[in-house]
């Protein structure tokens, strides 16, 4: 299940709803991303952040998140999965994203959660602007996020 929303989410309530009435789940892995109060802005030190604004392309975003979630369910034996991503203006300490994966065994749940987050950081159509005392900056893609995504590339396996 995927949701893109402005409202905050309750992590515990989301996990409980996902597992309600299920006895086939042996492992639940969750990742919650939150807004930090500092971020690198090209200098040697992190700059203060007073607000992060997340924008998205409605319709396209949900389609891409659905595709990513379906791929995770093809790669691993998941009983359930959830992606909740917020948009709008967020303050430091607020929740941005929740990824939950549930499987009979922990290995699949851990790998699927990491796969989903790696794809969210690189391929999901979200744009982030970090505002601070010196103004705002749109966040560029990071090479480290692209590198993390490469480990999931199946095209290398097909070429061997």
- Per-residue pLDDT of 78-109, as tens digits, reads 999 999 999 999 999 999 999 999 999 999 99
Quick one: average pLDDT of 115-119?
94
pLDDT at 15 over 60: yes
pLDDT confidence band for 148 (50 / 70 / 90): low
Identify which has the larger pLDDT, 66 or 121: 66
For the chain, domain boundaries: 2-9+24-37+45-134
Side-chain-facing half-sphere of 111: CA atoms under 13 Å: 16
For the stretch 87-121, what's the b/e string if a residue is b when 16 or more beta carbons lie within 10 angstroms of its beta carbon? beebeeeebbbbbbbbbeeeebbebbbbbbbbbbb
Identify which has the larger pLDDT, 46 or 41: 46
State residue 155's pLDDT score.
Answer: 59
Residues paired with residue 38 on neighbouring β-strands, in sequence order:
48
Side-chain-facing half-sphere of 48: CA atoms under 13 Å: 4
Quick one: average pLDDT of 138-149?
72
Q: Topology of domain 2-9+24-37+45-134, per CATH? A: Aldehyde Oxidoreductase; domain 3 (3.90.1170)
3-class DSSP state for residue 58? coil
The radius of gyration of the chain's CA atoms, rounded to the nearest angstrom, is: 17
Quick one: average pLDDT of 143-154?
72
- DSSP letter at 93 equals T
């Amino acid at each position: 299940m995927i949701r893109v929303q402005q409202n905050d989410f309750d992590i515990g309530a989301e996990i409980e709803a996902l597992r309600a009435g299920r006895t086939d789940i042996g492992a639940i892995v969750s990742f919650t991303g939150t807004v930090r109060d500092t971020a690198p802005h090209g200098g040697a030190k992190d700059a203060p952040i007073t607000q992060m604004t997340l924008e998205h392309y409605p319709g396209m975003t949900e389609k891409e998140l659905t595709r990513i979630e379906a791929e995770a369910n093809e790669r691993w034996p998941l009983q359930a999965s959830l992606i909740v991503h917020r948009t709008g203006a967020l303050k430091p300490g607020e929740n941005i994203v929740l990824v939950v994966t549930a499987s009979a065994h922990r290995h699949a749940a851990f790998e699927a959660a990491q796969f989903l987050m790696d794809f969210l950081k690189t391929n999901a159509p979200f744009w982030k602007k970090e505002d601070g005392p010196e103004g705002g900056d749109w966040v560029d893609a990071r090479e480290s996020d692209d590198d993390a995504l490469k480990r999931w590339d199946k095209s290398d396996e097909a070429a061997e």
